[in-house]
Amino acid sequence: MNRWDRYFFKRFSLKDAIFLGFCATFIVITRAGLRLHLNIPGHAMFFMCFFLLLAVGCVPRMWAATIVGVVAGIVAILLGMGQGGPLMLLRFILPAIIVDFGRLVYPRLTANFLACAVVGVLAAASRFLTIVLPDMLAGMEWAVVAGHAVVSTLMGMAFGALGSLMVPAIVRRLEAHHMVGPE
């Protein structure tokens, strides 16, 4: 695997920037497509964790997932998806930062199924804060907020783990066909 660049925003190649843009776009597209009322809380974390980890696995630069999260969050806000306005940006940025820190701690993150699952669970666990904060600002009672947040977070963690388990196989396939890796 390539040496992972530890500089803050070292120049991204055009291929890397396009790939990060596609990952951000697909996060927003899947979130829009999953606006169906499936009555399954946390199902959006499946594709969020998948595309954030895929971005980190294919673009070996520091803060690759955070860039994807920021772009996807801004596009989602501009398209008016969800409630919360600017607070909605946290739903995209917090999981992305957790994925980047997972890559910082374990550079071969996307080559290991267990590591991907753990990071996917932790990234989806950030959903708790993004549920509690708007509900508390709206003045809801703590018992209602806690119940809603715990159920949604636990389901999101399960979907995040499932979505992240697909990443190592896909990254290996892309590396085998020389679509990602050294330039």
Query: 2 lies in a domain?
Result: no
118 domain-assigned: yes
Quick check: is 9 in a domain? no
Give the separation between CA 92 and CA 57, rounded to whole angstroms.
18
Q: What is the pLDDT of residue 15?
A: 86
Nearest to 170 by CA among 58, 2, 61: 58
Residue 1 lies in a domain: no
Condensed to tens digits (0 to 9), the pLDDT of residues 2-35 reads 455 555 456 778 888 899 999 999 999 988 887 6
Q: Give the total number of structural domains in the chain.
A: 1
Determine, yes or no, domain membership for 183. no
pLDDT band at 93 (very low <50, low <70, confident <90, very high): very high
Confidence band for 37, pLDDT divided at 50, 70 and 90: low
Q: What is the CATH number of the domain that holds 151?
A: 1.10.1760
Q: Quote the pLDDT of residue 2.
A: 47
The answer to whether position 7 is within a domain reads no
pLDDT surpasses 70 at 63: yes
Q: Quote the domain boundaries for residue 22.
A: 14-176
The answer for residues whose C-beta is within 8 angstroms of residue 103's C-beta and 6 or more apart is 4, 56, 65, 109, 110
- Distance between alpha carbon 111 and the CA centroid of its chain, in Å? 17
Asked whether the whole model's pTM tops 0.95, one would answer no
Residue 160 half-sphere exposure toward CB, CA atoms < 13 A: 30
